[in-house]
Amino acid sequence: MGILGGQRRFEGSGEGALPHGDVGTRVAAAEGTPRAEQSVLTSRRWVTTMLTLAGASLLVMIASLRFGTEEIGFVDSARILFGALRYGETGIDSLGPSSVILLQVRLPRVLLGFMVGSCLAAVGVGLQALLRNPLADPYVLGISSGAALGAAVAMLVGFGKTVLALSAISFCAFLGGLSSLIVVYRIALSYGHLPIHTLLLAGVILNAIFSALIMFITSTMNPNRSFGMMSWLMGTLAAPDYPALIVLTVYLFVGGLILFMQTRALNILTLGEESARSLGVEVERVKKTVFFTSALLSGAVVSVSGLIGFVGMVIPHAVRMMIGPDHRLLLPASALVGGIFLLAADTAARTLLAPAEIPVGVITALAGGPFFIYLLMSRKGGLAR
Amino acid sequence: MTTSSKSGTTPAYKVTQLTFSYRSHRDRSRSSEPEWSLKGLTCDVGAGEIFGIVGPNGSGKTSLLKLLAKVLRPQTGKVELFGRELEGMRQDAVARTVALVPQDGQQIFPFTITETVLMGRFPHQQRRGSLGGFGWEGPEDLRLARQAMEETDVAHLAHRLISDVSGGERQRAVIARALTQQPKVLLLDEPTAFLDLNHQLEICAILRRLNEQQGLTVVLSSHDLNLVSQHCDRILLLKDGTVFRLGTVEEVIQPDVLETVYRCEVLVDRHPVSGLPRVTLPSRPAISMVHRIER
């Protein structure tokens, strides 16, 4: 995917051991260019980067439409898509089985994969800035499993497959995610600042507790439902229906916009809460907004796609290495790259062992886990602040 | 920025009966009596002054500075900034008037020095009303940032990561960030702690120049009594969260005053060049001295 290909490490400068947090280790710009404008984010750089990434997203989406158990060529795809756009539902039947596969199965799945990846990456960016912790991620911190528990409870109680299904389960997932986020934050805050290991430990413990509760709920279900539950927990992008997609789109856009509005304040918040306040940031308001929105997005994502790990950590990290830490660009760029990454992972999940399918959560964990360990190892001194 | 006289009409700060405790903020549930960091502190800072805050560890220096920047909120009492009550001011309005240079500012994300300095423009960008994410640093912002970086001599480090430079350079970059806020008052928490002699001198020179040329009011806390006596117009000596002595250098830097507050013997003579009081510790600590003061 080239996600790791672009990383640039900056090592062995005179200052040697980087203080407790060498994170992105961006290359300090070339010598002999002391003009202040050069390293600063400009609207031109923003637009170029975003357009490039948007173009890449589109290409990956088109490519993903092609792959699968049934190969559908680009020309056919285009014909089917334009046909559907022009004639609506009635146009579908005239184009045969491949159009049904494309429009009813593959397209919604591609869109879902992209949006879930975007949401997770955007939430990761927000949480990392807020907790001043480059390893923060909704999955690692137990927010996703909190949301999953909420959703599982909702399913158990039987909000099940009604018209309101999505919103009821999503709402419970949101509540679960928000409460675990608050717990994690409280635990970490009790030390005054937020040491990285405390935060990670808090996440580990929460994950353990929530997993146990989810297991318990699963064990009380009948085998049929518990199987569905298990595969959902492993992270799946099984074809959703269009209404569910529309709801998620709304979530993503509204949530993403709210997060985007905070990005300049998030830049300042990386200095620490007190410094941020002295620079005029209404810290409490920004914090609440980001927490709330993150929980909402995590809840929405988990309720449609289960537990998909590490996207929220790996993507912002890799993007930060490539384009710098300015959140005004980092957040939207990570959202697009996150979408691309999950889409690619899901395409791999669909095709590697076709016709069998690997849960996409397995793929992201296998890709993200080692990356996480690498980050931990490369920060040795820093971790034990 | 107007050059205000040292005996300006409206004081920069008027602090009345300020009480503050960390305890009751953080764990309100614990029933034990809160430990007061400040108890009923009253003082004022004149516009255009260099104002020093000294006192033993835990006497409330840092708390006071943070209260002056509205980073912390007092339990009771009030702070007036150029005649306006701080409590009623928006955070960004405060940040357009007051800049704080905190003691430790670790940055874990790879921001460059330029990016860090430009963060000082945040309160002004807020006023322009640009929506959160949208809005770029304009030419004026860049000009101010560059000017501040030249002022504090970090312009040549513009593209280095803030986490990669030395302590002195980082401190200067943070001062540049504060200047980019275009403040009328600059608050500094132990600006010279952990710096070597050369850098201490540099920081002091920068502060004096800004004070003289732009009429910037400077409030700094320090453990270095000599630094304070050489550079400050007035000194606030804190003890256990209250004012022990507030006055000119001559009034505060006196052996008996310092001995009572710091509980150790000190020698005060004259600086050979400036003629101002100079504090030295005796070569051997006198044990009997401690007992005398305890009593």
Whole-Å CA distances, A273 to A143, A170, A316, B80? 22, 31, 21, 23
- Please report, for chain A, the start and end positions of each structural domain, with discontinuous segments joined by +: 45-383
Please report the pLDDT score of residue A69 as a whole number.
Answer: 64
- Report how far residue B80's alpha carbon sits from residue B60's, in angstroms, rounded to the nearest whole number: 19
Nearest CA in chain B to A321: B110
CA A352 to chain centre: 23
Q: Which residues of chain B lie closer than 8 angstroms to A263, CB-CB? A: 132-133
B120: contact with A, CB 8 A cutoff: yes
* Per-residue model confidence (pLDDT) at position B267: 87
Closest CA–CA distance from residue B69 to any residue of chain A (Å): 6
Q: Going by C-beta distance under 8 Å and a sequence separation of 6 or more, which residues neighbour residue B21?
A: B34, B35, B36, B37, B75
Contact B145 A36 (CB under 8 A): yes
Q: How far apart are CA A86 and CA A96, in angstroms?
A: 16
User: Quick one: three-class SS letters along chain A?
Assistant: CCCCCCCCCCCCCCCCCCCCCCCCCCCCCCCCCCCHHHHCCCHHHHHHHHHHHHHHHHHHHHHHHHCCCCCCCHHHHHHHHHHHHHHCCHHHHCCCHHHHHHHHHHHHHHHHHHHHHHHHHHHHHHHHHHCCCCCCCCCCCCHHHHHHHHHHHHHHHCCCCCCCHHHHHHHHHHHHHHHHHHHHHHHHHCCCCCCHHHHHHHHHHHHHHHHHHHHHHHHHCCHHHHHHHHHHHCCCCCCCCHHHHHHHHHHHHHHHHHHHHCHHHHHHHCCCHHHHHHCCCCHHHHHHHHHHHHHHHHHHHHHHHCCCCCHHHHHHHHHHHHHCCCHHHHHHHHHHHHHHHHHHHHHHHHHCCCCCCCCHHHHHHHHHHHHHHHHHHHCHHHHCC
> Is the distance from CB of A314 to CB of A149 less than 8 angstroms?
no
The Cα A278–Cα A287 span in angstroms is 16
Exposed, middle or buried: residue A222 (CB in 10 Å: 0-12, 13-18, 19+)? exposed
Is A235 in contact with A305 (CB distance < 8 Å)?
yes
Distance, in Å, from the CA atom of A9 to the CA atom of A26, rounded to the nearest integer, reads: 6
From CA B98, how far away is CA B210, in angstroms rounded?
14
Question: pLDDT at position A380, please?
Answer: 44
Give the side-chain half-sphere CA count within 13 A for A358: 16
Whether residue A25 contacts residue A385, with contact meaning beta carbons closer than 8 Å, is answered with: no
Other CB atoms within 10 Å distance of the CB of residue A303: 30
Structure tokens at A296: 């909402």
Please give the C-alpha separations between residue A339 and each of A110, A252, A365, B147, B211, in angstroms, as whole numbers. Answer: 10, 12, 16, 41, 52
For residue B105, the SS3 value is coil
- Please identify every stretch of chain A with a pLDDT value under 70, giving residue numbers as ranges: 1-39, 68-70, 85-95, 158-167, 188-196, 239, 379-385
User: CA angle, A45 as apex, B118 and B150 as ends, to 5°?
Assistant: 30
* This prediction's pTM: 0.83
The reported pLDDT for the residue numbered A383 is 39
Give me the residues of B, 57-86, that contact A with CB < 8 A.
66, 69-72
Q: Can you state the percent helix, strand and coil of chain B, rounding each to 5?
A: 40, 20, 40
Report CB contact under 8 Å: A13, B164. Answer: yes
For residue A15, list chain B residues with Cβ-Cβ distance below 8 A: 164-166
First vs last C-alpha separation in chain B: 51
Residue A240: cis peptide before it, omega within 30 degrees of 0: no
Interface check for A267 against chain B (CB to CB < 8 A): the answer is: yes
Instruction: Give the separation between CA B50 and CA B88, rounded to whole angstroms.
Output: 26
Q: Left, alpha or beta for B83 (phi > 0: left; psi -120 to 50: alpha)?
A: left
Q: Which of A20, A134, A282 sits opposite B91 (nearest CB)?
A: A282
Predicted local distance difference test score (pLDDT) of residue A334: 95
Q: Does A325 touch chain B (CB under 8 A)?
A: yes
Alpha helices, H only, chain B: 22-26, 61-68, 91-97, 113-118, 122-127, 139-151, 167-180, 197-214, 225-231, 249-252, 255-262, 287-294
Q: Distance, in angstroms, between A341 CA and closest chain B CA?
A: 23
Taking a contact as any Cβ pair under 8 Å apart, which residues of chain A between 82 and 141 contact chain B?
129, 132-134
Contacts of B245 by beta carbon, 8 Å cutoff, 6+ apart: B235, B236, B237, B251, B252, B257
Per-residue pLDDT tens, chain B, 295 aa: give them. Answer: 333 444 447 899 999 999 998 764 445 455 556 678 888 899 999 999 999 999 998 889 999 999 999 999 899 999 999 999 999 999 989 999 999 999 876 778 889 999 999 999 998 887 665 555 456 788 888 999 999 999 888 999 988 888 888 888 898 999 999 999 999 999 999 998 878 888 888 889 999 999 999 899 999 999 999 999 999 999 999 998 899 999 999 999 998 999 999 888 888 889 888 889 999 888 765 555 555 554 4
A-B contacts (CB, under 8 Å): 161
d(CA A382, nearest CA chain B) in Å: 10
Contacts of A8 in chain B (CB under 8 A): none
CB–CB contact A264 B133 (8 Å): yes
Which pLDDT does position A51 carry in this prediction?
94
Q: Helix or strand or coil: residue B89?
A: coil
Question: What superfamily does domain A45-383 belong to in CATH?
Answer: ABC transporter involved in vitamin B12 uptake, BtuC (1.10.3470.10)
Report how far residue A92's alpha carbon sits from residue A152's, in angstroms, rounded to the nearest whole number.
36
Interface of B with A in 157-216 (CB under 8 A): 158-161, 163-166, 181
Torsion of CA B202, B207, B211, B213, to 10 degrees: 40
Q: With beta carbons under 8 A apart, name residues in chain B contacting A10.
A: 161, 164
Secondary structure in 3-state letters for A287-309: HHHHHHHHHHHHHHHHHHHCCCC
Q: Dihedral of the CA atoms A91, A92, A98, A100 (nearest 10)?
A: 160
User: CB of B142 within 8 Å of any CB in chain A?
Assistant: yes
Coil, helix or strand at residue B240: coil
Cβ-based contacts of A34 with chain B (< 8 Å): 155-156, 158-159
Tally Cβ neighbours within 10 Å of residue A13.
12
Closest CA to A308 of A118, A130, A127, A68: A118
**A251 Cβ contact list (under 8 Å, min separation 6):** A119, A170, A296, A297, A300
Q: What are the residues whose beta carbons fall under 8 Å from the beta carbon of A95, sequence distance 6 or more?
A: A79, A80, A83
Alpha-carbon distance A3 to A319, whole Å? 8
Rounded to whole angstroms, how far apart are CA atoms B285 and B263?
11
Of residues A40, A134, A281, nearest to B137 (C-beta): A40
* Cβ pair A134, A317 in contact under 8 A: yes
